[in-house]
Amino acid sequence: MSAVLVIGGSDSSGGAGLVRDIATLTELSTQALCAVTAVTAQTDGAVLSVYPLPPPLVREQIVSALATGRVRAIKIGMLATLDTVLAVAEGIAAHAAVPVVLDPVLAASSGGTLLEAAGLVALRQQLLPRATLLTPNIPECAALLGTALARSETELLQQGCALLALGARAVLLKGGHAATPEATDLLLTGADAVRRFSAPRSASGRRGTGCTLACAIAAGLAAGLELSAACARAKDYLSNWLRAPATPN
């Protein structure tokens, strides 16, 4: 069985974060190894508290997971603080051959902050150049670049190119926040290399869609799929999950 190391925070509501990551990987017959960065108390409507774990502990979880030799892909989610970003960058540094899916988690759907401002700068400088795939939504693109929200696909693709220029090898621009009839994600691997993945919009309002998609992509990469095939399979997986009646996680 292939294995993915998930690095991220726990969400007590079970809607997002590590609970969602592990549920996704389990459904995709992928073993989850796990490095917890922060514990949060959340409801669907609010982030009540965030307790980052000590950075040396975060680094040690990562180093020991990678030392098993079983990890075929890494998925990074909530990081909470600058020091955690630095600990993660240090922890994965010796494993340049392992693909990294970086979900730049900045805030919950409720609006609560999940990464401090100094952490965002460090993520851009230290982790973005290590990303095999960066998976920002429209607000995350704008925050990473310090620009206004993209108002059109052309503007979003321009922002995607700027993120490639910062060092990400590929960017999946998630269109969930766009005012388009379908939810379309754009996979950008070069200035003129775009592949689109569309699905009907879901009215489920379910949380954890970003975690689910990024983890499903990481599972595909761990299983040896090439990036575009991993994204296509993950988009189908997400659409089916959103269509299914809500079951635990």
Query: From the CB of 47, what's the least distance to ligand PLP, in Å?
Result: 7
The two tokens of residue 191 are 């200035």
Of 105, 141, 150, 242, the one binding ligand PLP by CB under 6 A: 105
Of 53, 131, 211, 216, the one binding ligand PLP by CB under 6 A: 211
What is the gyration radius of the CA atoms in the chain, in angstroms?
A: 16
**Other CB atoms closer than 10 Å to residue 189's CB: what's the count?**
18
Query: From the CB of 210, what's the least distance to ligand PLP, in Å?
Result: 5
Outline where DSSP puts E strands in 44-192.
46-52, 71-76, 100-102, 133-134, 171-174, 182-190
Query: From the CB of 45, what's the least distance to ligand PLP, in Å?
Result: 10
Of 136, 160, 175, 210, the one binding ligand PLP by CB under 6 A: 210
Q: How many residues bind ligand PLP (CB under 6 A)?
A: 18
Residue whose structure tokens are 């009215």: 203
Size of the chain, expressed as the number of residues it contains: 249
Q: What mask of x and - would describe binding to ligand PLP in positions 149 to 188, judged by CB under 6 A?
A: ----------------------------------------
Closest of 93, 102, 100 to residue 71, by C-alpha: 100
> Does 108 contact ligand PLP by CB under 6 A?
yes
Query: From the CB of 66, what's the least distance to ligand PLP, in Å?
Result: 21
Number of H helices, E strands in the chain: 8, 9
> Does 208 contact ligand PLP by CB under 6 A?
yes
Query: From the CB of 109, what's the least distance to ligand PLP, in Å?
Result: 3
For ligand PLP, which is the closer residue by CB, 40 or 81?
A: 40
Beta-sheet strand order (sheet of 46-52)? 46-52, 31-43, 3-11, 71-76, 100-102, 133-134, 171-174, 182-190, 193-200
The two tokens of residue 18 are 């590590």
The two tokens of residue 22 are 């592990």
For ligand PLP, which is the closer residue by CB, 14 or 158?
A: 14
**Residues in contact with ligand PLP by the rule CB under 6 A:** 8-9, 11, 15-17, 40, 42, 77-78, 105, 108-109, 114, 207-208, 210-211
